[in-house]
Amino acid sequence: MRLKGLYSHLGEEIHARYIGTFDWRGENEREIAITESLEEWDIPLHEDQFKLNDYFSTLLSGRTLIDLLFPLLGEASPDLMRGARENAKGAEVIIFSHPWMYPLIKTHVDLSKKTIIYDSHNCEGILRQQLLGNTPFAKCISNFIRFVERELCEEADLVLACSEEDKFQFVQEYHIDPEKIEVVPNGVDIHAIVPVTTEIKKRRRDELELPDKIALFIGSEYPPNVEGGQFIIDTLADQCPDVTFVLVGGVGNQLNARGKKNVRICGLVSDEKKRMLLEASDIAINPMFRGSGTNIKMFDFLSAGLPTITSPIGARGIRDNGSFIVAEPARFSDEMYRVLSTPTLYQELAMKGRSLVADHYDWNKISHDLGRKIRLLHKSREPYFSVIVPTKRGNLDVLIEALNNQRCRDFEAIIIDAGENREASLQEKCTFPVVYINDTSAGAVRARNIGIAHATGRIIAFTDDDCRPDAEWLENAKRMLESRDIIGIEGDIYSDNEKREDARYRIVTNEGFHGLGFMTANLFLRRDVIERIAGFDERFDKPHFREDTDLAWRAQHYGEIPFSDKVRVYHPPHLRNENGESKQERDQFFKNDPLLFSKHPEKYLRLIKAEGHYRNNTNFWRMFREGCKRISGPVPIHYLVNDPDIRKFIPSELISEQEKSAEL
């Protein structure tokens, strides 16, 4: 019930998927949509796991151990483990409801890149020590549970406790920082369980064939519930012979009414019948003498307007404003009769109980508040920067060393490798979080889009695999981004000045082109802006050229991208005889110019006038002309023709072709 209530209304931005199982034999796999944002996938345990559990249970007087031993026996159910691990790998936030699955996920999923939440229903380490006893085998299990739960609490970014008492236990038992423990109480759907009139109450009794004076108890097949049920049968049924005690839930599997006519054991019932029993009852009782967490049944009772008598343990973690009566076992029957015989007290408890759950224990409110906390927590874990680096057999040692030396450590790197897979060796060299994607089919443009899809940082930082960012690269960029209302930064790209006049080298720099053309060797953009403009235009791929300028020009519709000479990246000069660096090969890149021109004619005009390729490179117009054939429709040639300096260099054939294309 906690799972359904807590995760049904987290908000539109969160889609929750519960992966669970059955602790009994004979069930089939099932997938159900509980709400629009919560779905459940239950995968049955394998028979091998049941057999192992049966054996271990014999060592502890037949106690149910299937949950406690799951960290040790879970591999015996490969279908369940496969489904859980695959979903965990794809999730941004992983919530462990109980600690049992945690060790089996941790061994196969890198949790360092996830937001981890432990949704505790109890402080299991303490509770199981109470329930299992002191035999050597029981101590082994309880110590193991303490170890697992402690490790999960330490790794979790947030621990949810059902009550302040549970929070205190986690702090005392495991020395967990109280700041990361949030009390998120159990609750009830106050719209599904409501008080009813006397007429409806009588009608429900007739339908269920129940007499007057009904005391209701609800419980699962959980030892403290069984003890409470036994107390009802052995003690209360004799002390209150004119009251009929109705016991609902799995607790009935462990109970015997012993022929007592005023005890009805209903066992497991549907939600509809449970609602009818709540409506038929006069009072509710909750004699719990052990346990942890808060009892969800209490909120069902109070929401239904049933005056409730509970033991102190049963009231644990619930605000006490006179909405229910707390009684020791010896006083239970007296308090029951006092409530049943005092109409004013009966009505006062009914009204206060309903008001209490409506104000503080409504699942809709609790779930909505938790959704907000999860969003804020996940956002706080996101790195400030995602550094995206496409590569293909490039030597990354220089870049990795430069990133290792960054003064700002609030970043992740996303490496998209189109060569052989070398993740293991790269991960060893990096002192920062790395997402490594091996995709041999990806060109540089598509690779950057893949990187964007995997990025979690607020700011995307682009650089090349052969670059060397200064140690202050990210630090200075962050300072500038936080102090000004801008969407990005064009950083300074510098190289070796002594090779500038050496014709054997191609110098890569943006000196003299600030604000005109943009280069992914050193470019920062807000991730939300990149996502809004759908990333890079992959038509610029193979050869990759002008895609960065196009991206920045489109992004400028949403804000400024100023230049900074303090955000610096060194780009080494390239020998002209290296693969891909000959003049003939580099000139091929101008085939992408018509696409850039057709998308941004005015900005393109300013760019090529600054670059001067149209007048200095004999191959420029031939490549431009070929590029025109690769795009659909004419290019706006009149922008070039109307410029007197450019017009005298444009081949007449190109003008003629474009004019004819425009006419068509």
pLDDT in tens, 609-639: 999 999 989 899 999 999 998 887 778 888 9
One-letter amino acid of 8: S
The per-residue pLDDT for range 264-282, each reduced to its tens digit, is: 999 999 999 999 999 999 9
Run of H or E including 537: none
The answer to whether residues 152 and 245 belong to one domain is: no
Q: Residue 255 is part of a domain; what is its CATH number?
A: 3.40.50.2000
| Whether pLDDT at 644 is above 80 | yes
Asked if the structure places residue 192 within a domain, the reply is no
Strands 385-391, 459-462: parallel, antiparallel or unpaired by DSSP? parallel
Share of the chain above pLDDT 70, in %: 98
Last residue within a domain, chosen from 120, 152, 183 = 183
The per-residue pLDDT for range 378-401, each reduced to its tens digit, is: 877 789 999 999 998 888 999 999
Asked if the structure places residue 646 within a domain, the reply is yes
Bigger pLDDT: 664 vs 654:
654
Q: Distance from first CA to last CA of the chain, Å, rounded?
A: 67
Last residue within a domain, chosen from 326, 361, 396 = 361
Q: Residue 386 is part of a domain; what is its CATH number?
A: 3.90.550.10
| Whether pLDDT at 293 is above 70 | no
The answer to whether residues 497 and 618 belong to one domain is: no
The answer to whether residues 473 and 566 belong to one domain is: yes
Give the residue-averaged pLDDT of 160-179: 90
The answer to whether residues 558 and 626 belong to one domain is: no
The answer to whether residues 471 and 395 belong to one domain is: yes
pLDDT at 662: 66
The answer to whether residues 636 and 560 belong to one domain is: no
Distance CA 216, CA 246 (A): 5
| Whether pLDDT at 664 is above 70 | no
pLDDT at 376: 83
Three-state SS across 464-524?
A: CCCCEECCCHHHHHHHHHHHCCCCEEEEEEECCHHHCCCCCEECCCCCCCCCCCCCCCCEE
Asked if the structure places residue 80 within a domain, the reply is yes
Last residue within a domain, chosen from 183, 206, 231 = 183
Give the residue-averaged pLDDT of 16-43: 93
The answer to whether residues 407 and 524 belong to one domain is: yes
The per-residue pLDDT for range 93-119, each reduced to its tens digit, is: 999 999 999 999 999 998 987 999 999
pLDDT at 489: 98
The 10 Å Cβ neighbour count of residue 529 is 20
Q: Band of the pLDDT at 579, cuts 50, 70, 90?
A: low
Predicted TM-score of the model (pTM): 0.60
What is the residue-averaged pLDDT of the chain? 92
The answer to whether residues 607 and 541 belong to one domain is: no
pLDDT at 578: 63
Give the residue-averaged pLDDT of 11-27: 92
The answer to whether residues 421 and 344 belong to one domain is: no
The answer to whether residues 218 and 318 belong to one domain is: yes
Q: Nearest-CA neighbor of 315 among 328, 304, 326?
A: 326
The answer to whether residues 407 and 504 belong to one domain is: yes
Q: 350 lies in which domain range?
A: 198-361
The answer to whether residues 287 and 415 belong to one domain is: no
One-letter amino acid of 412: E
pLDDT at 323: 93
Q: Nearest-CA neighbor of 160 among 177, 182, 127?
A: 182
Asked if the structure places residue 375 within a domain, the reply is no
Distance CA 370, CA 187 (A): 13
User: What total of structural domains would you count in the chain?
Assistant: 4
